[in-house]
Amino acid sequence: MARDYYGILGIDKSASDSEIKKAYRKLARKFHPDVNPGDEEAAESFREVSLAQEILLDPQKRRVVDMGGDPMEQRGGGGADFGGFAGGGLGDIFAEFFGGGASRGPRSRVQPGNDALLRTSISLEEAYSGVQKVVTVDTAVICDHCAGTGSESQAKPVGCPTCGGAGEIQEMQRSFLGNVMTSRPCPRCQGFGEIITDPCKQCGGDGRVKKRRDITVTIPAGIGDGMRIRMASQGEVGHGGGPAGDLFVEVRTQAHAVFERNADDLHLTVRVPMVDAALGTSFDIEQLDGEELTIDIAPGTQPGESIEVTGHGMPRLRTDGFGNLFAHVDVVVPQEMDKRTRELLLKIRDSRGEDTRVRRSGDGQEESFFSRIRDRFRNR
């Protein structure tokens, strides 16, 4: 049974070429494998709409469809008709296996374009606030001289006189098994079944030319390193002025001098003199948005402790709110000190009556140094 190519694209039989292309682009975006990774049903639908466009944009094939046939069906009947072997001989049987059976027909001159990928680099501040970046892309675009037709006069192609519009040439070769029919693409029309009599001087009949152009990409706040932004129909224009593919912009985030990012959280290390760690202090940092934030360090803060400040991390990309900020404390012990400082520290030690001893597990003391180091790296 012939396929309903008009129904596949959801158009009327009176649809023009531009309406066919418009319907194809709409469905191709919906079923494209890049949009539906791993979805075999969507991939099959994408193949169906691509085939429907190819058939209906070809005048000869469309004529077959309008007459109730299917140009993709094998000539000479279905494969279940074994009666066809009666008068053909072994040569005809082997011709089916060696590619000399049904003609595949000409391929469409109008082909969908390929997707394009480029990379751009942003700062952590730009990832925090979002930014618009101008990127330069070098891809094929529609030839403005011939409007994508490939013809200098923008005339329609004519049937290839070499292959008669079939897009391929069949040759009979004699072998010990009999006559074997082989097919190959027509060398004159490259398998299109039609030729352009006056090729465009700018694109040489391809309908597209290479061009460097600038595109503005909107990068959302909170985007992660390595994420890609899809820009529909901004990729490469297809052969014969076919619909353009998509452009994917991969975003890389530069390292920051102060902050280190982990998902939606920000981490920084602050060096605190041991006296300030013992007595408590505060310090100001400039956030990624330029605003200052005061962080308090409580008295008795230990080396390796982390101070969590809720809601001062990166903005969440797909939901509201922000991650958190973690300030990791690095207590600085002086390696050199003057006589006065040393005397003061000796007095403090003597007044507290503390001495150095080995910590035993389960003695009620606070967690070990190695445990703190381990937890610190878990939070990074």
Locate the domains of the chain by residue range.
Answer: 1-72, 260-378
Contact status, residue 267 vs residue 377, Cβ threshold 8 Å: no
- At 221 the pLDDT is 95
The pLDDT value recorded for residue 70 is 78
Which residues 6+ apart lie within 8 Å of 337 measured at CB? 345
189 is in an annotated binding site: yes
pLDDT at 29: 84
Mean pLDDT, to the nearest integer, of 292-308? 94
- Of 222, 221, 227, 230, whose CA–CA distance to 250 is shortest? 227
Q: Give the pLDDT mean for 10-32.
A: 89
pLDDT of residue 38: 77
Distances, alpha carbon 188 to alpha carbons 164, 165, 194, 231, in Å: 11, 11, 9, 37
Supply the mean pLDDT for the chain. Answer: 83
3-state secondary structure of 93: helix
CB 203 within 8 A of CB 119: no
Model confidence at 338: pLDDT above 90: no
- Reading the block at residue 186, the tokens are 């027509």
Residue 79 annotated as lining a ligand binding site: no
Please indicate if the annotation marks 143 as binding a ligand.
yes
pLDDT above 70 (res 242):
yes
- Sign of the Cα torsion 334, 335, 341, 343 reads positive
The answer to which of 92-101, 190-199, 246-255 has the lowest mean pLDDT is 92-101
Please state the rounded mean pLDDT for residues 43-48: 86
- From the number of C-beta atoms within 10 Å of its C-beta (0-12, 13-18, 19+), residue 300 rates as exposed
Q: Which of 64-68, 100-104, 114-118 has the lowest mean pLDDT?
A: 100-104
Give the CA distances from residue 246 to residues 46, 149, 151, 313, in Å, rounded to whole numbers and listed in that order: 15, 22, 26, 33
Better pLDDT: 75 or 324 = 324
What pLDDT was estimated at residue 89?
41
Q: Is 146 annotated as a binding residue?
A: yes
For residues 228 and 372, the model is more confident at 228
- Pairing between β-strand 306-309 and β-strand 265-273 as defined by DSSP bridges: unpaired
The contacts of residue 269 (CB under 8 Å, 6+ apart) are 327, 328, 330
What six digits make up the tokens of 16? Answer: 């023009």
User: What pLDDT is recorded for position 153?
Assistant: 93
**Between residues 39 and 230, the one the model is more confident about:** 230
CA–CA dist 207, 243 (Å, integer) = 12
Reading the block at residue 136, the tokens are: 């330069």
pLDDT at residue 184 in the model: 87
pLDDT above 60 (res 98): no
pLDDT at residue 293 greater than cutoff 70:
yes
22 is in an annotated binding site: no
- Supply the DSSP string of 183-206, one letter for each residue: EEE-TTTTTSSEE-SSB-TTTTTS
Q: Which range has the top average pLDDT, 266-270, 329-333, 368-372?
A: 266-270
pTM of the model: 0.61
In the predicted structure, residue 356 carries a pLDDT above the cut 90:
no
Kindly state the average pLDDT of the residues 248-277: 94
CATH architecture group of domain 1-72: Orthogonal Bundle (1.10)
Q: What is the pLDDT of residue 81?
A: 36
Question: What tokens were used for 318?
Answer: 């797909």
Higher confidence at residue 293 or residue 66? 293
Task: Work out the percent of the chain whose per-residue pLDDT is above 90.
Answer: 46
Token representation of residue 201: 């001087």
3-state helix, strand, coil in the chain (%, to 5): 25, 25, 50
CATH topology of domain 260-378: HSP40/DNAj peptide-binding domain (2.60.260)
Per the listing, tokens 């400040």 go with 309
Annotated binding-site residue? 220: no
Any known ligand binding at 186? yes
pLDDT band at 357, cuts 50/70/90? Answer: low
Local structure of residue 237 (DSSP, 8 states): P
pLDDT of residue 75: 39
Dump pLDDT digits (tens) for 53-96. Answer: 988 998 878 887 887 777 776 333 333 333 333 334 444 434 34
Task: Supply angle C-alpha 190, 195, 199, rounded to 5.
Answer: 105
Give the pLDDT score at 224: 94
Lowest mean pLDDT among 6-10, 176-180, 256-260: 176-180
> What does the DSSP assignment read for 309-366?
ETT-SPBPSSSSSB--EEEEEEEEPPS---HHHHHHHHHHHHHHT----PPPTTSSPP
pLDDT of the residue at 350: 81
Whole-number pLDDT of residue 216:
94
Angle among Cα 112, 117, 118 to the nearest 5 degrees reads 145
For 142-173, write each residue's pLDDT tens digit: 999 999 899 999 998 999 999 888 888 887 77
Residue 97 has pLDDT above 50, yes or no: no
Calculate mean pLDDT across residues 175-204: 86
The pLDDT score that the predictor gives to residue 178 is: 67
pLDDT mean over 310-328: 94
Rounded Cα–Cα distance for residues 76 and 127 (Å): 63
